[in-house]
Structure formats: structure tokens, C-alpha cells
Structure 1
Amino acid sequence: MKLLVTGGAGYIGSVVAALLVEAGHEVVVLDDLSVGHADAVPDGARFVLGTLREAAPPLLDEGGFEAVLHFAAKSQVGESVRHPELYWDRNLGESLALFDAMRRSGVGRIVFSSTAAVYGEPESTPILETDPARPTNPYGETKLAIDVTLAEYARLHGFAGVSLRYFNVAGSYGRYGERHLVETHLVPNVLKVPSGEAEHASVFGEDYPTADGTCVRDFIHVVDLGRAHLLALDAAVPGAHKVYNLGSGSGYSVRQVIEVCREVTGHPIPAVAGPRRPGDPAVLIASSAKIQEELGWRVERDLTEMVKDAWEFAQR
């Protein structure tokens, strides 16, 4: 298939684009490089520099595209709180431009990289797709708005849409890994200590009602996540919008993540505990029972493999 991957020069987008190329698809990556990297575009994929508003309409008008995998978005929670208007414009506004361009060009199949942040602070875990969506920040709000829009485009225009919701992604795939200008994710931040970029790892709160007192979070290897996108592409049905959570089923505590990083790197990695961050729930785990049952997706890589791959990438 001829496929458009928006945000394909970013972390997750580049991995999925690489998997698609390897699967024999014709891949076109569209990215404005505001957070992505040109050298992350896979060999064998065509690269188009531009925004969704400006570049997507003429690109899709070329014809031949059969589906879109949509990763392009701003994703920093803190930044979304400081600049909500930016997130509504870039996430929802640009997505609306993309969907309209798809509608006009007759491309109705799409897999959207959503987020489990749409659930906010859940009443129970693991989180199910049927649980209430109550985002606690503009980032989650904009992603939920895109999910709702996809459901409407499926109802009104016959789109075949799939939204994948997940929390934390880690690991790498060959030369495709995590390179954020502002890093907020736990694994790469902990690995900054053995890399010599930080003196210690930070632990925000150690008095949570969990086994070791630190927050428990879901982590998925980026390759496992990539496989889910390929499965979702095949599972998209015209006139329907499907939503799948992707989760480990158990999660890992902050202390567990730091300990695995110590084991993998052989570095002591001092950890300094501080106060809780406002709004941090004790446990965030998403159930993947639905996608396991319907699409046969399974987590194949554990936390140790995530850290090993992330550490290998960090040393390049």
C-alpha cells in the first residue's frame, strides 16, 4: 500500500515508518521537523517537509494513497498547560486540515496515535476503553477531541478509523530512538546519569499507596507499539471508529525502572526523592484485553529489553 505517515521523523513515527518500509509498503513521511529529525526518516521512505495544513492537501491530491498513520502532534503536558492555544491549533487544528484533505482525496483509512492521557485520573485500573474520558490537561483534551472528530468522520464520511491509546513508550529500533529537545520521559532521563548528563535520577514522591511507595506506570517497547499500528491498519473498517488501549497489564514503579537501569548500565545511578508532583495518580495502567482478543496483539518485550535498547541508542 501507499501510505502517508505524518510525524514520521519523530520517535514513534520513525519506528512505525521503518516497520512499514520493511513490510514492503510505499511510505511517504510528512513532518515539519519542529520536534522530529530528518535523519530519522527511514531509508526507502520519501520525505516531504511541511505542516499538515500546507503540505497534506497537495500531497494527498497526488493520488494512490490508501491510508494515513497520524503521529504529528505536540505532546508535552506542561507546555500544553502553559500554552493551551498552541496545542488546540497544532493538534486539533492541523488534524482537522488533514482529515478534510483525506476526505476530498478519497483516502478514508487512518490509524491515529492517541493517548491514555484522555482518561485523566482513573477511578480504577487497569483502564478499559469504556471508562470515562476526563483529561486533566490541554494535551489530553486535544487528543480526545481528535478521537471524537474521527468518530464523526467515520459516521458522516465513511472513514475507517482506529485510535490507539497508550502511556509510556521506551526502547529503540536500530537507529530509531528517543531524541527530544525537552526530555520528560523517565527512562531516557534516568539514563542521563550513566551518560554523564545528570548527577542523579529524580523521584517525585515516595509515599504513594504502592508496593515501594513510588508511582506505577505502564511502559511499552516502541517496537511492540509499532506492531500494534500495523495490526490496526489492517483492522480498520469503513464507517467505524475503533479505540484500543495498549498496556502491559501490570506496570512498573519508578524505583523498579531505576533499578533496571542500574542493572543494564552497571552504573549505581543515585536517586534523589522529592515531593509529589500535583496531579500524579499513584497507578496508571491500561488494559490491552480488547486488542489482544480482537487483533491478537501481545506485549513481547519487557522493561529490561526496553532499557537495553534505549541505552544502546543513547550511547550512539
Structure 2
Amino acid sequence: MRIRALAILGDPPSWEAARLRDAMEDWAAELSGRAREASSAGVEVWTRRISLPGLPGDDPSLVARVSSASPDGVLVSIGHTRRPEVLEEAALQGLYAYMPIQGPGDAAAAASAIVRIAGRDPELATRVAVSAGGHIIATPYFPVSSAPPGRRILAASILYASDVDASSVAGSVASIFRRAEGAVPGAAFDYSLSPWMEDSVAALVERAYGARVGSPGSMHAVHELNRAIRRGAGPGALGFNEVMLPVEEDSALKAMAREGSIRASDLLRLSSVCVAGVDMAVVSAGPEEVRRFLLDARALSASAGKPIGIRLIPVGDPPGTRVDLGRFGRATAIAL
């Protein structure tokens, strides 16, 4: 078990360049200190992050200011934006951002922006996402992460799929959560079950319940995992607190993409009841197809009454095409 992300979700006292830099450096120092404390307790902190509440006035000119103020070695999200140009500029500046979509106009604007970003470099599109249904979400999971206005929260997420005992899922999940809480006392946790390559959630679904993701029984399996997460979560939980299935961050899902045995729509169906969204999927699609997909996700968010995050990397090539995703390695385009 590792702390996947240790984050400050913070609203800076000032957006003036020097004061913004000072605030972010102070937050980074606090994160480093808390990471050392966790390490002394035998728990590694994998990444340090800062999430902001969105830019004042949604001003695109402030993106470069945030980038300049960002501390070395810390991932930074500007939070949510309703302007496609802010989304694009954030990705180009090495930051994270997301757009809440509440209607067809939002979906069209977001789809066009995401396709343009991926057209520059598919890896850039890994930095942006949408929140279907328009939810503003406080979580250490990027890109769909915003700080609550006027507040500062120490938040954490956990990487633990390989540590779950398939014969005693609920008990082992609760034990993992208590250990994580002890390593970072006072933090608000998003207890979501997320993968990183061989630390695979899709493999856990099959190991614990005998069902491959997308096959009959997999919705039940993910539902049961979510029940274990909800039962084990502490009272200060924030964010999604659900199973996450980012295609290009999970070795088993990457293999399914190479086989052509999974589509983005398969994951969207799971999102209707029991998955946090459709994440890190390289899809063969243009702006119109992405727009329609986002509208479907918005409809599911409204009917399920919960946030659904969508992070697509659209490419103009057919399913099965191999795509370089930089730090995520070689990816495979799948059908919507």
C-alpha cells in the first residue's frame, strides 16, 4: 500500500504573482514534511499535488502565472474552468484542469477543445477532463479536482489494489484504510480503488469475483468492491470513493485494449451504477463523436445522481492503432 497522492486543496490568499508563489511553496513544504512523516511510519508517498479552486474570473492570462509559481516536483491543477481556451492553455503549460458540462453547448465546447489538445500531442490530453453533470469535485485525483473556495484541505488517495485479500475483501480494505489514515493523520481521504499498471484493479475484479471487466458479472463485482469501500471509509471521506478503471493506467485493461475486447461505451455503462467514470481511454473519435459521448455521460450522471469524470484521448486513427502516451507508455486506440 502506498499513498498515491498527498494534496493540498487550497484557495490562495492572493493571486498576485509573488504571493501566489509563496503560498504554493509553503504548501509544497508542508506536503514534503507530511510525506517524510508517512515514510517514517513505513508508508511511501508517491506524488505531491496542489489543487486550486479555478482561476479568478476564469482568466486565461493567469494560467502562465500559476505555472511559474508551481513548485518543482509537485503536480498542480488549476481546478475547473468553463472556458475551452483555459483548458487548452493549462495542458500546454503542464498543468491539470477540467470542464464541468451542464448542457449541449458545454459538451460541444469541451469536445472540440479535447480533440484540439490531443491533436497537438496525445499526452497533453491526459492532463484534462470533464465533469459530466457539472459537478465541482474536491479530490486529490487529477484532473477532475478543485479546491473549495476559501478553504484549505489536506487530502490523500491510496494505491492498494494488490494489497486487497480476495478472500476477505471488506476486511482487508478496512485494514488498509486504517493504516493509511495512521500514516497521514488529519488528512481527508478519497478512498477510491485505482490502479497503476501491474497494481491492477481489473485484475482484482477477476481475482476476487471471477469476472473480467465488461463481461457478465463484472458490474456485480465492481458494485461489491464499492460496498467494501463505502463500509471501510472514514467519516471525513471526500471525492469519488469508488472503483476507478483508467484504461491506460491498468495493465490488465491495457491488454484488453490491445485485444480489442473493450470499448469506452463498456466503461460508460459501468459508470451508470458503480464506476467513477471513463478514464485514460484513447479513442478513435472526432469532435462530434466525443460530443455525443459526453452528452451520454451527462445523462448518466443526472440519472445516477452522482459525478462522472471523463478523460478521453481522441485520435483520428482506427481502433487498434498504437499511440505514444509519453510517461504512460504505448497505448492502444479503442472504439467508443
Taking structure 2 as the reference length, the TM-score comes to: 0.26
Higher helix share: 2
